[in-house]
Amino acid sequence: MYSHKIRVRYAETDAMAVAHHSSYWLWFEEARVEFLNTNNINYSDLEKQGFFLPVAESYCKYLTPAHFNEVLIVNCFVTKIGGASVKIEYEIINEKNQNVAKAYTVHPIVNEQGHIVKMPEKIKKEFQKILE
């Protein structure tokens, strides 16, 4: 598991100072990139090798509203590694230890032409280390 701290910015809220649902996806992406970086899977390096991890599927269940200036923890977990994809799950917890949201994204490995390809062994080994 990887934990990433964020603070809800004013621009991420609506007129009632509640975080807009679209902001969650930015938080998930920010946490995911840092999560992968800390586990030797760098997006920039993957792209230089001709591999990409687009979001092919996503789901989020909003449980408790997040508010302006609130500190949140985004936890990330790799929960499934396929031959050509990876599933990452997220949970957001607020300062009161309440569940704010639970989500997941599925990322196929694609080449520069956008075709799904078999996950390179080196990348697969790094993802498998995360599961251990």
Backbone angles phi, psi at 124, to 5 degrees: -60, -40
Q: What is the mean pLDDT of residues 40-46?
A: 91
pLDDT at 81 over 90: yes
Does the pLDDT at position 6 exceed 90?
yes
Query: Residue 131's pLDDT is what?
Result: 81
- Rounded mean pLDDT of the chain? 95
Q: pLDDT band at 53, cuts 50/70/90?
A: very high
Whether 110 contacts 54, CB under 8 Å: yes
Q: Answer whether residue 132 shows pLDDT above 80.
A: no
The CATH homologous superfamily for domain 2-131 is Hotdog Thioesterase (3.10.129.10)
